[in-house]
Amino acid sequence: MLFRRRVPLLGAVGMVLLGATAWASEPVTEAFGGTRALGMGGGLRGAATGGTGPLQNPSGMSLVQSYNLEADYLFARLRSGHLFHASIVDSTSAFKLSGGLYYTYHFDDPPTPPSSRGHEAGLALSMPFGEHVAVGGTVKYLHLTGFEAAPDGGTGGVTFDAGVTVRLLTGLTVGVVGNNLRKLGLSSAPMAIGYGVALTMGPELQIVADGITNLTAEGQTPLRKGTRLSAGIEATLAKKVALRGGGGYDGVTQNGFFTAGVAAISEAGTLDLGLRQDAFQNGSAARETVFAASFRLFVPQP
Which CATH number is 29's domain given? 2.40.160.60
Buried b (16+ CB within 10 A) or exposed e, 98-108: bbbbbbbbbbb
As for how many domains the chain has, the answer is 1
Q: Which domain does 80 fall in, by range?
A: 9-298
Is 149 a domain residue?
A: yes
Q: Is the pTM for the entire model greater than 0.75?
A: yes
Contact 162, 136 (CB under 8 A): yes
pLDDT value at position 115? 86
Would residue 1 count as lying in a domain? no
Collapsed DSSP state (helix, strand, coil) of residue 289: strand
Cα-flanking dihedrals φ and ψ of residue 12, to 5°?
-65, -40
Q: Is 2 within the bounds of a domain?
A: no
Return d(Cα 227, Cα 249) in angstroms, integer.
8
| pLDDT tens, residue by residue, 174-193 | 999 999 999 988 878 889 99
- Tell me, yes or no, whether 175 lies in a domain: yes
Q: Which of 44, 40, 34, 39 is CA-nearest to residue 85? A: 34
DSSP bridge pairs for 89: 100
Amino acid residing at 141:
Y
Residue 161 lies in a domain: yes
Examine residue 4 and state whether it is found in any structural domain, yes or no. Answer: no
- Residue 114 domain-assigned (yes or no): yes
Q: 109-125, pLDDT tens digit by residue?
A: 888 888 889 999 999 99
Domain assignment present for residue 74? The answer is yes
- Is residue 189 exposed (0-12), middle (13-18) or buried (19+ Cβ within 10 Å)? buried
